[in-house]
Each structure stands twice: as structure tokens, then as C-alpha cells.
Amino acid sequence: MGKLHQMIERNSIVLVLMITIVASIGGIIEIAPLFTIQNTVEKVEGMRVYTPLELAGRDIYVREGCYACHSQMIRKLKTDVDRYGHYSLAAESMYDRPFQWGSKRTGPDLARIGGRRSDEWHVRHLKEPRKVVKGSLMPGYAFLADTDIDPQRIALSIKALQWAGDPYTDEMVKEAAKDAIRQASPDMDDAESIKERYGEKVQIRDFDGNPARVTEMDAMVAYLQMLGTLVDTKALRAAVKAQRQAAESKPAGKAKEVAAR
Ligand code: HEC
């Protein structure tokens, strides 16, 4: 054994070869199981792809670097769950390219900000944070309200995401530019048609308080207002509880059976 070891240590090529073999064993053990499953993300009811307007909002969120101060990942820690709600599920970021989990919270986590505040609050806060929250460190983004969205560009993004594998239908791609306008224009005759493509829960309204234009503020608020609202976390919590109770009552049932015998 001593001789063999000496030979390996003195012969650099053999040493590199042995190291490679040993290191790859660990790698194979980690990677191989992933080849046998279709998907590493569990399917969760309620998840859908972003509507064109929400996607535009998300793109602005990334463009403006909101992620530098805000995470979108509620951890399982009690402090996180108490403050922000049900912890984030992997499925909830399955259509995020790139994901917005983040590791820095200068501001609060935004994973479930949807529905927590009014549209007006968001608009005022985004324009001038310190007018709404005293001493806020957040910069203002008033220009979002002065910048129109570009529906054709959004349509191209949707097309790219379809190509990348997100389940956008051909109809969604075809209607994308119009859907971006429809979602912020409840007065349009066919505004509601967007629900046929993205579901009943899609929020259709004038988000920025300026019905004359569809601005980046509309897109940003539409995005913020849907964050974390797709999955019914109350139902999810009830289902997990029921599962746990069923699992707990099973061994008891068995014990009774044994006693009866
Ligand atoms: C320099 C860091 C910083 C950046 C960049 C930043 N924020 Fe904030 N944000 C904060 C801080 C700090 C707070 C908490 C104080 C407040 O509410 O203004 C906050 C609060 C918020 C809130 C309220 C959350 C709640 O639960 O009350 C929202 C919504 C928000 N930010 C959205 C955004 C968006 C959208 C962007 C990008 C356009 C952004 N922020 C960029 C620091 C930042």
C-alpha cells in the first residue's frame, strides 16, 4: 500500500487522474437522480405565466435594480412568516427569468406585497417615498408615470419567453401587445377578454390613476399588486394540516387493529 501511494504521489498524471475519479463520484451521486425526474419544481395550483403588463412591470423592476434593496423570498423562519406571510414556494418563481430571491433587504421583502396596499399608495410611494413613509431610504421613481409602455417590445418579450419554454399559447403571443393595453384600460370593450387567456383572477384596472395613458407606472403597480397572490396560501396551509393529521391518525389506527386482534 505504501509503495502504491508513493507511486501515485510522485506521478502527477496518475495523481490528477485519481483525484478526478474520486471527485466525480460525489458529483454523480448529486446529479444522477435529477436525470430521472421530469421537473424539480412541484406543480402548484394557481400559478400562471405573467400577463404582458405584469411582465413589463417585472422588466422595469429588474431594469431599475429594485432587487438591490428588496428580496422576493420569504424564508421558513418564524420572523419572516410572521411579517410577510406564507413562506415562498419554488413554483412561485418558476416563471421568473432571472429569479428575484435576493440576499439583501434594505427595504422589506416584496414576495407577497400584492393586495396589501392600494394602487394610490403605491403610486404616491413610488413617486416620492418620503412623502408616504417618513425617513424612507428608497429613491423616487416619478418618471415611471411619465413614460409610456412599448406594447410591441413587450410582445417580443412574450414571444422570447414562449421560445424559451414558458407555456404562453400562440394566442397569448398574438394578443400580447393589445393585452398590455387592455389590462390597464377597463373601459375598452374587449378588456375582459384577457381573462380568457390568463384566468379570472387577472386584475384589470387603471393602476396609475391616469386613464389617458398606459405608463410604466401602470405596469409596475400591476406587477406589485399580483406578487404572491396567485397561489391560495390559505388553502395550501389547510391541505398541509389535513395531510399531517391524516399521517398522525394512521399509526393510531394500526395500533387499534393490533389491539383488536
Ligand atoms: C436604496 C434601496 C431601495 C431601492 C433601490 C428600492 N427600494 Fe423600495 N424600499 C426601500 C426601503 C428602505 C423601504 C421601506 C421604507 C418605505 O416604505 O419607503 C422600501 C419600501 C418599498 C415598498 C413598500 C413595502 C411595504 O411592505 O411597505 C415597495 C412596494 C417598494 N419599496 C417597491 C420598490 C420598487 C418597485 C423599487 C424599484 C423601482 C424599489 N422599491 C427600489 C428601499 C429601496
Amino acid letter for position 152: Q
75/147 same-domain check: yes
- At 102 the pLDDT is 85
- Closest-CA residue, ligand 1 atom 9, reads 107
Q: List C-alpha distances in Å: 7 to 19, 23, 197.
A: 14, 20, 68
- At 247 the pLDDT is 86
125/204 same-domain check: yes
Q: Is residue 84 assigned to a domain? A: yes
172/201 same-domain check: yes
- At 77 the pLDDT is 94
Q: Is residue 249 assigned to a domain? A: no
89/198 same-domain check: yes
- At 252 the pLDDT is 54
Q: Is residue 71 assigned to a domain? A: yes
8/88 same-domain check: no
CB atoms inside a 10 Å sphere around CB 103: 7
Ligand 1: residues with CB < 6 A are 61, 64-66, 68-70, 106-108, 110, 113, 129, 133, 136-139, 141, 220, 224
CATH number at residue 98: 1.10.760.10
Contact 177, 52 (CB under 8 A): yes
Chain-centroid distance, C-alpha 69: 17
- At 1 the pLDDT is 67
31/56 same-domain check: no
- Closest-CA residue, ligand 1 atom 7, reads 138
Amino acid letter for position 161: L
The set of cell numbers assigned to 183 is: 389590462
Give the separation between CA 149 and CA 223, rounded to whole angstroms: 14
Average pLDDT by stretches of 10, the chain with 261 residues: 86 94 93 80 88 98 96 95 93 92 92 97 98 96 97 97 96 97 96 96 96 97 97 85 84 52 51
89/137 same-domain check: yes
Residue 123, domain extent: 52-239
Contact 57, 219 (CB under 8 A): yes
For residue 36, the 8-state DSSP code is T
Which residue is listed with cell 412541484? 42
Q: Is residue 26 assigned to a domain? A: yes
* Overall domain count for the chain: 2
31/62 same-domain check: no
Residue 55 Cα to ligand 1 midpoint, Å, equals: 19
How much is the pTM?
0.85
- HSE-CB for 152 with a 13 A CA cutoff: 0
Give the separation between CA 223 and CA 150, rounded to whole angstroms: 16
